[in-house]
Structure 1
Amino acid sequence: MNKTIKYKIINKALLFISFLLITTFVISSCETDETQTVATFTELVMSDEFDTDGAPNSAIWNYNIGTGDNGWGNGELQYYTDRTENVTVQNGVLVITAKEEQFNGSNYTSARLLTKGKFQQTYGRFEARIKLPYGKGIWPAFWLLGDDSNGSEVWPQIGEIDIMEYVGNHPTKVFGTVHGPGYSGAQGVTKSYELDGDRFDTGFHIFGIEWGPDYINYYVDDVLYNQITPEDVTGEWVFNRGPFYIILNVAVGGALPGSPNAETVFPQNMLVDYVRVYKNSYN
């Protein structure tokens, strides 16, 4: 049996149990000194298990297309498409592929999926099980952005929660960050998590946040490695309002990772086994 499919069968049984039990997170492995706030969650409200081959579920996912403004604000080099060459569901996983190719004036292509206007939520548990790509200039992310559909507020006032970011030439380390007014871009509030003796491109890992009023907890697998609160930011805390939508993407180049080099291998794939969102006691 395919290992991913076998894992999903086990996971779905555990999901059923989660509806019957109130789950609390273990915080003993957290590295921060302060007392951690940890909520409970009991209801799965959105799940994409990527069980149907072909295009991603159009009831959940939209796409950003093109290069955006200044490479989506980060000087990124790729052209985002919705082509099957860049985004598809195969064998129980979502595959986002970054390719080196000439396309509409860009030297690279990739994909960026978002749930804007289809699924949005304030607070809760947001998680995804992902196997990451690797290589200099490769920049995948799983993140949330505040709803900006009314046009009255723009980034960073709308708020951004980066559940997982990663640069491919540091395959043992991921980081979680928040951006808001007064603490955006390079001034974002962030902390990294590093694997001991393993790499994020060699297997699947679960990246998640538990988000409630005045705090956001960051997890890798079962480890709570950071909590961010209003006391940690240098401007307005914009995360007690919403809703926020989900984004999954693989960027190529940009301000954070720099450009690919001669050792960067293409294509590069980010594999997403599932995305799940739960309500917590604040919803």
Structure 2
Amino acid sequence: MLLAATLAGCASASPNSEPDSNATSSDTAAPDTILWADEFDGPAGQRPDDAVWVAEIGNRDDEGWGNDELQYYTDAPENASLDGDGHLVIAALPAADGEDLPCFTVPSCPYTSARLTTAGTVALRTGRVEVRARIPNGTGLLPAIWMLGDNGEIWPAQGEIDIAEVVGGEPDTVYGTAHGPTYFNENGIGAALELDEASGDDFHVYAVDKQRDAITWSVDGVDYLTLTPEDLPAPDDWVFEQDMHLLLNVAVGGDWPGSPDETTAFPAEMAVDYVRMTGEGTLTPAG
């Protein structure tokens, strides 16, 4: 199923017990326990649990989300909802005719999508996060499963772990990358893993084990990159000993993937079967 991993800069195990339902109270978990999970059970069209998932909105105020992106993120169910078969579906769509969607790069964003985050509700300090997902492909798309730090700093000092990104017209390539104070954007440190099929053809388990002084990336239980402080330009710039929340999104356009073309199929859907966190962290559900 998996082929070579190519370093782009400088052993995992699945949770050993069935995860509980969505978090319902503030807590801190022990190292080997299920911290939190979402299996996305519910009727078709239902929004994901708003006690955990926060929908970020807009485009213009964040300079195209830092990448000159062309989508306007919404909280509409057509952009993020359950499908009734145990999946969360995040869909990028062409904007409706006449919609005024403020955009950083053009007067009105030509696409809508969703960016869901557990900021302020669920964060992993030390342990494992795994997401079983089918990630869409197409020129101009940049779907991502990733994490940001809760240390109160401004990016990139905030710290970022990209668990899985699939860029534009590279359907069988998955990127795992870390960004920090002296290694960010094109200087992020990571690896590219080649699958033997397009990421949109089937579900895969994308995971990160975040331990003290080591982060390991894997797909379907196969490790392909481990990063330690010694791999950084400056070891003191290791910023991952902190709570980090999860983000799921499908971006359209921007500096890395370029713009969609006539070959890009819409809706472009990321289907997420489950999200599971094991280890230590914090739960502070909204509501």
TM-score for the superposition, normalised by structure 2:
0.81
Render the CA deviation track for 1:30-66: whole Å, top value 9, x for unaligned.
xxxxxxxxxxx63111000000130101111001100
Secondary structure, counterpart of 2:66 in structure 1: helix
Tell me the residue number matched to 1:178: 178
Task: Tell me the amino acid that sits aligned with residue 93 of structure 1.
Answer: H
Tell me the residue number matched to 1:15: 17
Task: Tell me the amino acid that sits aligned with residue 225 of structure 2.
Answer: N
1:97 aligned to 91, 95, 110, which one? 91
State the superposition RMSD in angstroms: 2.0
Mapped to 2, the partners of 1:76 and 1:234 lie a distance apart of 29
> How far off is 1:131 after superposition?
0.3
Secondary structure, counterpart of 1:122 in structure 2: strand
Q: Is the 8 A contact 1:133 1:168 kept in 2?
A: no
The answer to whether 1:72 aligns with 2:76 is no
Render the CA deviation track for 1:240-264: whole Å, top value 9, x for unaligned.
2x21110000000111111111211
Q: Percent identity?
A: 44
TM-score for the superposition, normalised by structure 1:
0.82
Mapped to 2, the partners of 1:13 and 1:99 lie a distance apart of 34
Secondary structure, counterpart of 1:231 in structure 2: helix
Tell me the residue number matched to 2:42: 52
Q: Is the 8 A contact 2:175 2:190 kept in 1?
A: yes
Tell me the residue number matched to 1:25: none
Secondary structure, counterpart of 1:186 in structure 2: helix
Mapped to 1, the partners of 2:219 and 2:15 lie a distance apart of 21
> How far off is 1:139 after superposition?
0.6
Mapped to 1, the partners of 2:266 and 2:191 lie a distance apart of 29
> How far off is 1:121 after superposition?
2.1
Secondary structure, counterpart of 2:95 in structure 1: strand
Q: Identify if the C-alpha distance between structure 1 residues 258 and 59 changes in structure 2 by more than 3 Å, giving closer, same or farther.
A: same
Give aligned pairs, total. Answer: 243
Render the CA deviation track for 1:5-43: whole Å, top value 9, x for unaligned.
xxxxxxx99734x99xxxxxxxxxxxxxxxxxxxxx631
Render the CA deviation track for 1:147-177: whole Å, top value 9, x for unaligned.
15x5xx2000010000011114111110100
Return the structure number with greater helix share.
1
Mapped to 1, the partners of 2:247 and 2:15 lie a distance apart of 27
Q: Which runs of 5+ in 1 are unaligned?
A: 1-11, 20-40
Mapped to 1, the partners of 2:243 and 2:177 lie a distance apart of 18
Tell me the residue number matched to 1:165: 165
1:139 aligned to 130, 137, 142, which one? 142
Secondary structure, counterpart of 2:62 in structure 1: coil
Mapped to 2, the partners of 1:211 and 1:166 lie a distance apart of 21
The answer to whether 1:84 aligns with 2:60 is no
Q: Identify if the C-alpha distance between structure 1 residues 13 and 119 changes in structure 2 by more than 3 Å, giving closer, same or farther.
A: closer
> How far off is 1:232 after superposition?
1.3
Secondary structure, counterpart of 1:182 in structure 2: coil
Render the CA deviation track for 1:220-245: whole Å, top value 9, x for unaligned.
001000101111111311112x2111
Render the CA deviation track for 1:68-120: whole Å, top value 9, x for unaligned.
42111111100000101101011210000000124422100000000011111
**Where has structure 1 moved over 3 Å in runs of 4 or more?**
12-16
Tell me the residue number matched to 2:105: none
Q: Which runs of 5+ in 2 are unaligned?
A: 1-13, 21-30, 102-107, 281-287
Tell me the residue number matched to 2:263: 263
Tell me the residue number matched to 1:192: 192
Q: Is the 8 A contact 2:123 2:245 kept in 1?
A: yes
Mapped to 1, the partners of 2:114 and 2:139 lie a distance apart of 18
> How far off is 1:215 after superposition?
0.7
Tell me the residue number matched to 2:228: 229
